[in-house]
Structure 1
Amino acid sequence: MTFASAERARLADLLLEKGPHAPTLCEGWSTRDMAAHLWLRESRPDAMAAMFVKPLAGHLEKLTADTKRREYADVVREWAAGPSSLNPMRAADKHVNAAEHFIHLEDVRRGEAAAGGAVPAPRTFTEDEQAALYRALRRMAPMILRKSTAPVVLQAPDRAPITVARDAVALGIPVTVTGEVGELLLWASGRDAVHVQVDGDASAAARGGM
């Protein structure tokens, strides 16, 4: 079982445990919204396209509303079964979904922190799982931190630092962020309910979202 598939199973179990009305770290999203997003992203190519093409936003809203009217548990279980053998996402699952599933699992797991609750401690991962998260962070960081106005250095224990800097700001005072790999991935993706230490001007780091 790959890390992506293991996180899929954990996230599905958590969504069913929490029910459709639990909060998440995604602003305005309940667990029902999260389940609809996950299902549409894999099951409807037109929805996937609409997530990135603004003129199709209305179409995505309709598909989302239709999916949210379905039985919540059915949507979760269909998504948990994974892409069909004819779906291109099946072959790409371990590459595309390692970060997606981890981040959204933590969005649900830490949802109450969005309303002022305590931030749960990071989960413990095996070395292989840590390596999968590190590969995802190394691949995604240049994209989701690309608008930063200072170099951003991501430092995890026992890992080579990941530095993101556009040519124009490469000589600026860096923002150094230290934490476990998963925490760095969450922080870089725009989440605040994380366990990291930020040294430098945090406002210079333009974090992405997903």
Structure 2
Amino acid sequence: MTFAASERAALGSLLLELGSDAPTLCEGWSTRDMAVHLLVRETRPDAAAGMFLPALRGHLRSVSEQVGSRDYVDIVRAWASGPPRFSPLRFLDAQLNAGEHFIHHEDVRRAREGWEPRTFGTDDTETLLAVLRRFGARLLRGSECPVILDPDGAPSIVAVERRGVTGHGSDVVRVSGTAGELLLFCFGRTESVVTVTGDRDRIRFTSI
């Protein structure tokens, strides 16, 4: 089972366990809103485009309302079963959804009291590192100073470079932690366990 698939299964089980009205770390979203987002993103590309294109946001809202009117358990199970049979996403799930499923799994886990960071084996850590390398710079590109990510046990990542300053420069903010915690940090999740050295207020988070 790929990391994306295992996170899908775990998140699906958690959504069913908590029911439709539990909180998440996504402001204004309940677990129902999360489930609707996941299903629309995966099964209605015409509407999912509204996540990126302002002209289609009305269509996204309409489709989301339609999907949200369905039974909650049905919504969760439809998403947890995986992409539609003939969808290209069925073959790209491992590449496209590893970060998505991990982030949203933690959005639900960490909205409850008593959560603790998870630990991952070598293969899953490498998957998270690959996602971090792919998206870290894009998510932090608006920062006002160089930002260096220091994943545990892996080479540093120059996420943001300014005025030619690299990892050894003086005007740098360094963020250290596990690959998963750094990924959550880059996605703007305040419930991430990282150590920041430098002026954290100069970091800016940007949506993909």
Asked if 2 retains the 8 angstrom alpha-carbon contact of 1:150 and 1:172, the reply is no
Asked if 2 retains the 8 angstrom alpha-carbon contact of 1:24 and 1:111, the reply is yes
Residues 14-49 of structure 1: CA deviation (Å, up to 9, x unaligned): 100111000000000000000000000000011121
| 1:163 match | 158
Partners of 2:90 and 2:204 in 1: CA distance: 32
Q: Supply the AA of the counterpart residue of 2:154.
A: R
Gaps of 5+ in 2: none
Runs of 4+ in structure 1 deviating by more than 6 angstroms, as ranges, are none
Asked if 1 retains the 8 angstrom alpha-carbon contact of 2:25 and 2:110, the reply is yes
- What is the RMSD computed on CA atoms of the aligned residues? 1.5
SS in 1 for 2:55: helix
Q: Supply the AA of the counterpart residue of 1:92.
A: L
Partners of 1:146 and 1:125 in 2: CA distance: 28
Structure 2 matches for 1:75-154, cutoff 5 A? 75-112=75-112, 117=113, 120-154=115-149
| 1:72 match | 72
Partners of 1:102 and 1:53 in 2: CA distance: 24
Q: CA deviation at 1:85?
A: 2.9
| 1:190 match | 188
Percent of residue pairs bearing the same amino acid type: 47
**TM-score, with length taken from structure 2:** 0.94
Partners of 1:169 and 1:47 in 2: CA distance: 41
Q: CA deviation at 1:172?
A: 6.5
Partners of 2:170 and 2:74 in 1: CA distance: 51
Q: Supply the AA of the counterpart residue of 2:144.
A: T
Q: Supply the AA of the counterpart residue of 1:180.
A: T
Partners of 2:133 and 2:76 in 1: CA distance: 30
Residues 110-162 of structure 1: CA deviation (Å, up to 9, x unaligned): 113xxxx55x2111211100110000001011111111111111112111111
